Amino acid sequence: MGEVLAVIAKLLRRTLGLFGFPLVLLGCSVGQDVTSPGLVLQELLIAQGKAALNRNGDPSVAVMNLSRSQLNSLGETVLRAQIPNYGLAAVLFISQDRAPYSIWRTPDNVTLQFRSGLIIGSKGVGADLVAVDDPRMIAVLEGREGPGPGKRVNSAFDGTNATVKTEFTCQISDLGPENVTVAELSYPTRHLRQTCTSPNENFVNDYWVQGRTVWKSRQWFNEQIGYVTVERISPQ
């Protein structure tokens, strides 16, 4: 049994933490500061990992394979984040909620900071965003302005603890109504697209919004990480 758990721990290390932060499987404990929903999540992921091993698959997809009923068992709204370039995924729990700002964390204390659904910072990812200044996109998400042109500034660590700022020229478009499916539930949303350019870096962000709720987004992080897909999953 111990050998099986060791294999699952190795393969799930990048599943509970966005960038491979240590996952310790000792009975039913993960780290030293895990909420009850975090323990439920651990048990679900262990089960998913075992199933994947039995299918000769990769348990790193365990987070993405969690069913609606399994996610409901966590008992609270969570975020499911995925980094496609690295094949990583994680579930994040609310840590601070001071609308319109919120901080979400994994059981291994990797955090993503948001304003109205837009990622504005991170800690523990490894190539962290220090800050994002994107007033037009935030105004659109908060319903204060309509789509149009805007400026965006990303501040990120360069790997030597120095902060590098990159300024982008952006255009926000409303692509119209679109149903989006998140963890087996469909939501009637509007699809907002932000296209940003700079001399050395270009990206396209997508947001699926219902009112002021962003059910799903695909947001550019930086050149090291690429895109992060975030889904909001509320108990039903």
Mean per-residue pLDDT of the chain: 79
Confidence at residue 71, expressed as pLDDT on a 0 to 100 scale:
82
Confidence at residue 124, expressed as pLDDT on a 0 to 100 scale:
86
Q: In what order do the strands lie in the sheet with 213-222?
A: 118-123, 111-115, 101-105, 88-98, 78-83, 226-233, 213-222, 202-210, 185-197, 163-182, 149-157, 129-133
Q: Of all residues in the chain, what percent carry a pLDDT higher than 90?
A: 49
Confidence at residue 26, expressed as pLDDT on a 0 to 100 scale:
25
Residues 150, 135: contact at Cβ < 8 Å? yes
Q: How confident is the model at residue 37 (pLDDT cuts 50, 70, 90)?
A: low
Residue-wise pLDDT tens digits, 136-170: 999 999 999 999 999 999 998 876 778 889 999 99
Q: How confident is the model at residue 227 (pLDDT cuts 50, 70, 90)?
A: very high
Residues 89, 63: contact at Cβ < 8 Å? yes
Confidence at residue 72, expressed as pLDDT on a 0 to 100 scale:
82
User: What would you report as the CA-atom Rg of the chain, rounded to the nearest whole angstrom?
Assistant: 18
Domains of the chain: 2-62 (no CATH), 77-233 (2.40.360.10)
Confidence at residue 125, expressed as pLDDT on a 0 to 100 scale:
83
Backbone angles phi, psi at 12, to 5 degrees: -95, -5
Q: Of all residues in the chain, what percent carry a pLDDT higher than 70?
A: 73
Q: How confident is the model at residue 49 (pLDDT cuts 50, 70, 90)?
A: very low
Across the range 120-149, mean pLDDT stands at: 94
- Complete DSSP assignment for 130-181: EEEE-HHHHHHHTTSS-S-EEEEEEEEE-SSS-EEEEEEEEEEEEEEEEEEE
Residue-wise pLDDT tens digits, 50-101: 444 344 444 446 677 788 888 888 888 989 998 888 878 888 889 999 999 9
Residues 148, 167: contact at Cβ < 8 Å? no
Residue 196 pLDDT > 60: yes
